[in-house]
Structure 1
Amino acid sequence: MAAAPPVTAPAPGIAWPPSAQRTTRLVLLLCWLAILAEGYDIGVLGAVLPALSSEAGWNLTPIQLGALGSYTVFGMLIGGLLVGTLSDLYGRKPLFVACLSLFTVCMAATAMAPTPLIFGLFRFVAGLGLGGIIPIAAALTVEYSPPHRRSLNYGLMYSGYSLGILAAALVGRSLLPDYGWRPVVLVGALPIVIVPLMIWRLPESLDFLVEKGRTADAARLAARLGLPLPTRRAAPGETIGWRAILAEIFSRRNARATIAFWTALFMGLLLVYGLGQWLPQIMRRSGYELGDSLLFLAVFSFTSAVGGIVLGRLADRFGVRRTVFLTYLLGAAGIAALSLKGSIWMNYAFVAVAGFGSVSSSLILTGYLAQYLSPRVRAGGTGWALSFARIGAFCGPLLGGYVASLGVDTAWNFYAFALVGLVAALATAAIPARRDARAG
């Protein structure tokens, strides 16, 4: 069958046809569900950390508690490198389904772990799957969104991450006092039921099919979905392997962008994972009851979910770099303000600002990276950047554990994380303006 001629995607501001809008909503929903599951998985450790610290026979120190969170992050680092690159080589959909299946099964195994070692092992394996979810979801959301709504749609999709953390806090608050931490972790295995829906309804990436030279398959899928066929970037007969992906990411012309993006995301994820795991424990050390401490995590998560949507709209209107830079600064100020030890309602407000200025900023910046990269390396480039950022995520729980082990005033936890937010803001400001060729 002769390949259909490529059709250039519509320009920003031009409405997609109704059939294309339905496809956009479907992809957003399926990616949102996967990110919701990932958010719960990430948030659950922060929710159960106070219970793990007193688990009979485990006798965990603050540093060991921090390490339990870092096992997952280390797995995500490896998973992001492998899965992001493999999805650019073999397809977004099969890797997406495999990653979701892997980490949900591991959640069930973690809930039954008899020792801290087995707990950490299953958390590491779960991280391999978790690491692949975000880069693939980012690529699919960007590719199936109109150009003028990409940041907003990414914010909508990624709101599932914060709502997943919120769900973990609320489930923990409901189940922990009477049933302990194991049922709270087990709830994270429930998303396995959406895997058949993913297999049935999630479309493969049109950009992937076109870049692989499978133009006839892409044309049939585009016709069925009512979408324009993307233009291929690769030269005829060019093979896009892992070397080409890495060469694009680390090319001299991309050096400044790579350094700036990677630094900002490193600091952003250090904030997200450090505060996500340690916020309830820090607030307990500040004198709050367990239930109130978990509500701080719930407020942190809820405002970051809403903030991602608001920030996405602002980024589409005023530019991503400027918006994220200012929001990171705002978040750093909110984190530092928590050291003032005001009333509980004032602290709720500061925690809300901290969530908006850490999780929301990082998610919009990740979406911008996916837009910034060429479609041929979109998932792979996002995966490599996030895998480097996972080192920051790995350090986040350890930083919280280290400061806790020093026995200093709790204010120093907030000062440390506020400084991280400031560095993230400065790195975002250093991202070079995107060239038209990268509009992707």
Structure 2
Amino acid sequence: MDNIQNTAVEGVATLRRGEISHSKSLLVVLLCWVAIFAEGYDVGVLGAILPSLSTDSVWHLSPLQLGAMGSYTVFGMLVGGIVIGTLSDLYGRKPMFLACLSLFAVCTAVTAWSPTPTWFAASRFVAGLGLGGIIPLAAALTIEYSPAAKKNVNYGLMYSGYSLGLFAAALVGRWLLPDYGWRPVVLIGALPVLCVPVMAALLPESLDFLVGRRQDDRAKRLAARLGIAVPAPSAREAGVGWRAVLGEIFSPKNAFATACFWIALFMGLLLVYGLAQWLPQIMRKSGYDLGDSLLFLAVFSFTSAIGGIVLGRWADRFGVRRTVALSYLLGAIGIALLAFKGSILLNYIVVAVAGFGTVSASLILTGYLADYLRPFVRAAGTGWALSFSRIGALSGPLMGGYIASLNVGPEWNFYIFAIVAASAALATALIPNKPRA
């Protein structure tokens, strides 16, 4: 009887989310887009300023130290994803979302001021705590407030902010670095804090959270404002604690899927962070000047933004798993082709294929995971998976630094990253069908 009741309630919840107007769902997408744009800019800015940091006459950083610069933030994100993702399912997604963005912005301003590498490292770590919570919370809110037929395309649209943030960092770096150095480029990344008051006024709290925590009055007021119905909570979703969250994520029915998602996301973020940080430096070693090297990062980022939207549409039509797996495979081919230096136009095309296939696939895969999980563990489950994948993100910049320290040809970066992309494709292809409730 309980199973039948739970299934019925979740069916109503699905209907309820499907009835939300597309314009209201797009408001949530837009607000989440701003935060994800900030995160993308932060990742891209490290790649943009790396050539400048590598020649800094005061800090004298080695290749391994340069690689570590991108890892301080990722380590903070690893911790933040677990802590914030879990706390948000216990205390609310909206307040945690706003707190994460505010913490990140303040620490970014501190990074721009940093007088020593130690200050830089500390501020990057604390900024990472905020960034680690942004992705799972944005994923949970976007999936919850998207009509069923628009989930993947809305998620791709929201997550295009990440790639456009990368793109903006490359362009800002190309504009400011030659005359003003790296600090103003970093400081611009703190500007999204100006959007926090607007988000506080317009971003809705999760109805799934309010219903699950028995905050009936708040849920009714929010539902009335959005023009949708409030479902009755299931016994499983009411008063859920961290043991129930972890029990659901690692339950026998979800264990293999969890492993596949975690491995694919690990490989995907290793690619995103490794290439975003080292691509300009690798292209400089290949003989291109600073401006052209930063344009490679811009092309990589811009095509991945387009790819997120296109792949979202394809995923809604042809299935997420198939679309993401083939995209990772396409990205592996594009990365491998970068090892063979051709004309600059041809290399721009190959970089575009690599960005379309790798970053875009990782974005859509995160949305697939959020939709795969039960609503009451959606933010926490996504947060735990992304925190594990942060180890891959942590490894990407360090891997690039290690390869640079070996004094081997730049093509070895592309060979290794291509293998990583192929591994992500395999792990995605092995994800089982979503279990019935």
Q: Same fold (TM over 0.5)?
A: yes
2:409 matched residue in structure 1: 409
**In 2 relative to 1, CA 394–15 (structure 1 residues): closer, same or farther, beyond 3 Å?**
closer
The alignment covers a number of residue pairs equal to 429
Mean Cα deviation higher: 212-221 or 73-82: 212-221
2:390 matched residue in structure 1: 390
Residues 59-98 of structure 1 mapped to structure 2, 5 A cutoff: 59-98=60-99
Measure, in 1, the Cα distance between the counterparts of 2:23 and 2:260: 35
1:228 deviates by 3.1
2:362 matched residue in structure 1: 362
1:16 deviates by 3.4
1:123 deviates by 0.5
1:129 matched residue in structure 2: 130
Q: Deviations over 1:363-407 (max 9, x none)?
A: 000000000000000000000000000000000001111111111
Q: Is 1:114 matched up with 2:115?
A: yes
Measure, in 2, the Cα distance between the counterparts of 1:266 and 1:121: 24
Q: Is 1:192 matched up with 2:193?
A: yes
Q: Deviations over 1:37-86 (max 9, x none)?
A: 11111110000000011112111011000001000000000000000000
Matched letter for residue 105 of structure 2: T
Q: Is 1:427 matched up with 2:430?
A: no
Measure, in 2, the Cα distance between the counterparts of 1:271 and 1:163: 17
1:226 matched residue in structure 2: 227
2:378 matched residue in structure 1: 378
1:210 deviates by 0.9
**In 2 relative to 1, CA 401–10 (structure 1 residues): closer, same or farther, beyond 3 Å?**
closer
**In 2 relative to 1, CA 406–32 (structure 1 residues): closer, same or farther, beyond 3 Å?**
same
2:12 matched residue in structure 1: 8
Matched letter for residue 331 of structure 1: G
1:10 deviates by 5.5
Measure, in 2, the Cα distance between the counterparts of 1:73 and 1:159: 20
Q: Given that residues 296 and 351 in structure 1 are in contact (C-alpha distance below 8 angstroms), is that contact kept between their aligned partners in structure 2?
A: yes
Q: Secondary structure at the match of 1:8?
A: helix
Measure, in 1, the Cα distance between the counterparts of 2:223 and 2:124: 39
2:275 matched residue in structure 1: 275
Measure, in 2, the Cα distance between the counterparts of 1:297 and 1:257: 33
Measure, in 2, the Cα distance between the counterparts of 1:334 and 1:422: 11
Q: Given that residues 18 and 146 in structure 2 are in contact (C-alpha distance below 8 angstroms), is that contact kept between their aligned partners in structure 1?
A: no
Q: Secondary structure at the match of 2:61?
A: coil
Q: Given that residues 35 and 134 in structure 2 are in contact (C-alpha distance below 8 angstroms), is that contact kept between their aligned partners in structure 1?
A: yes
Mean Cα deviation higher: 72-81 or 34-43: 34-43
Q: Deviations over 1:207-250 (max 9, x none)?
A: 111111223321221111112324534348x5201111111111
Q: Given that residues 10 and 228 in structure 1 are in contact (C-alpha distance below 8 angstroms), is that contact kept between their aligned partners in structure 2?
A: no
Q: Deviations over 1:111-168 (max 9, x none)?
A: 0101111101100000000000000000000000001110100000000000001000
Matched letter for residue 324 of structure 2: V
Q: Given that residues 206 and 230 in structure 1 are in contact (C-alpha distance below 8 angstroms), is that contact kept between their aligned partners in structure 2?
A: no
Q: Given that residues 233 and 376 in structure 1 are in contact (C-alpha distance below 8 angstroms), is that contact kept between their aligned partners in structure 2?
A: no
Matched letter for residue 171 of structure 1: V
Measure, in 2, the Cα distance between the counterparts of 1:428 and 1:233: 31
Q: Deviations over 1:310-342 (max 9, x none)?
A: 000000110000000000000000000001101
Q: Secondary structure at the match of 1:253?
A: coil
Q: Given that residues 274 and 399 in structure 1 are in contact (C-alpha distance below 8 angstroms), is that contact kept between their aligned partners in structure 2?
A: yes
Q: Provide the alpha-carbon RMSD of the alignment.
A: 1.6
Measure, in 2, the Cα distance between the counterparts of 1:223 and 1:316: 29
* TM-score normalized by the length of structure 2: 0.96
**In 2 relative to 1, CA 353–368 (structure 1 residues): closer, same or farther, beyond 3 Å?**
same
1:302 matched residue in structure 2: 302
Q: Given that residues 272 and 358 in structure 1 are in contact (C-alpha distance below 8 angstroms), is that contact kept between their aligned partners in structure 2?
A: yes
**In 2 relative to 1, CA 413–30 (structure 1 residues): closer, same or farther, beyond 3 Å?**
same
Matched letter for residue 162 of structure 2: Y
Residues 191-270 of structure 1 mapped to structure 2, 5 A cutoff: 191-235=192-236, 238-270=238-270
* TM-score normalized by the length of structure 1: 0.95
**In 2 relative to 1, CA 231–324 (structure 1 residues): closer, same or farther, beyond 3 Å?**
farther
1:11 deviates by 4.7
Measure, in 1, the Cα distance between the counterparts of 2:229 and 2:346: 50
Q: Given that residues 270 and 393 in structure 2 are in contact (C-alpha distance below 8 angstroms), is that contact kept between their aligned partners in structure 1?
A: yes
Moved over 6 A (4+): none
Q: Secondary structure at the match of 1:409?
A: coil
1:181 deviates by 0.3
Matched letter for residue 24 of structure 2: T
For structure 1, list consecutive stretches of 5 or more residues without a partner in the other structure: none
Measure, in 2, the Cα distance between the counterparts of 1:231 and 1:308: 35
For structure 2, list consecutive stretches of 5 or more residues without a partner in the other structure: 1-7
**In 2 relative to 1, CA 208–222 (structure 1 residues): closer, same or farther, beyond 3 Å?**
same
Measure, in 2, the Cα distance between the counterparts of 1:230 and 1:394: 41
1:33 deviates by 0.6
Mean Cα deviation higher: 401-410 or 93-102: 401-410
Mean Cα deviation higher: 219-228 or 303-312: 219-228
Percent of residue pairs bearing the same amino acid type = 69
Measure, in 1, the Cα distance between the counterparts of 2:49 and 2:125: 17
Q: Given that residues 307 and 356 in structure 1 are in contact (C-alpha distance below 8 angstroms), is that contact kept between their aligned partners in structure 2?
A: yes
Measure, in 1, the Cα distance between the counterparts of 2:18 and 2:140: 21
1:317 matched residue in structure 2: 317
2:37 matched residue in structure 1: 36
Q: Secondary structure at the match of 1:340?
A: coil
Matched letter for residue 177 of structure 1: P
Mean Cα deviation higher: 348-357 or 130-139: 348-357
2:53 matched residue in structure 1: 52
Matched letter for residue 321 of structure 2: R
1:270 deviates by 0.2
1:335 matched residue in structure 2: 335
Measure, in 2, the Cα distance between the counterparts of 1:231 and 1:357: 41
Measure, in 2, the Cα distance between the counterparts of 1:239 and 1:431: 30
**In 2 relative to 1, CA 104–328 (structure 1 residues): closer, same or farther, beyond 3 Å?**
same
